[in-house]
Amino acid sequence: MEILFVAIALAMDAFAVSVSIGLSLNFVPLNTAFRTSFHFGLYQFFMPLIGWYTASKFSSYIQELDHWIAFLLLAGIGGKMILEAFEKKEGSTVDRTRGFPLILLSIATSIDAFAVGMAYSFLERKILFPAMIIGIIAFCLSYIGIKGGARFSKHLGNSAEIIGGIVLIFVGAKILVEHLSG
């Protein structure tokens, strides 16, 4: 049960970012929703494994920077979305479900999963099964998020991409505040 709650908590950032991506797109085909969800789930699966493996070697350095990295990635992409919303012509959209933007978003939303992997290492717990559950939950919630965001995008028009950018900035700020205050 603990693993399920951890997985859901970790997937919330990926869910919020997926909603944001869905908001920036007028239509999300099945392959786009799958590709995005797959990346988020895959990174959420691998990051705890990597965190678990590297915990003993680099933990002090990573814990000091992880929240800043996530914040800068998400705020940067969110700010870029907002700027592009004002610059774009009617009907044009930027697809963040491909290439480097998708990789950056996948990394930014899975940094907490990296930290969970480190914690499991410190507690001398096994990580493979929890990482699988974390990845599956992230995939499912990301899929729901991107499809739901696209559904709302139809009602919001051009302001959807601005809202999506604001959501990304807030998710990044939330990560930063949680780590700095905790």
- Tell me the per-residue pLDDT of 105-164, one tens digit each, with 9 for 90 and over: 899 888 888 888 888 887 778 999 999 999 999 999 999 999 988 887 766 665 666 776
- Give the C-alpha distances (Å, rounded to integers) separating 50 from 8, 27, 59, 91, 98: 19, 34, 12, 41, 23
8 Å CB contact between 142 and 32: no
Q: What is the pLDDT of residue 107?
A: 92
Residue 147: which H helix or E strand, with range?
helix 128-156
C-alpha to C-alpha distance for 99 and 41, rounded to whole angstroms? 16
Quickly tell me which residue has 């919630």 as its tokens. 141
Catalogue the E-assigned strands of the chain.
Answer: none
Residue 33: which H helix or E strand, with range?
helix 30-87
Q: What is the pLDDT of residue 44?
A: 96
Entry field: residues in the chain: 182
C-alpha to C-alpha distance for 161 and 172, rounded to whole angstroms? 17
Average of pLDDT values for 46-74?
A: 78
C-alpha to C-alpha distance for 131 and 10, rounded to whole angstroms? 11
C-alpha to C-alpha distance for 25 and 152, rounded to whole angstroms? 10
Q: What is the pLDDT of residue 176?
A: 83
Q: In the chain, pLDDT over 90 holds for what percent of residues?
A: 26
Residue 117: which H helix or E strand, with range?
helix 99-122
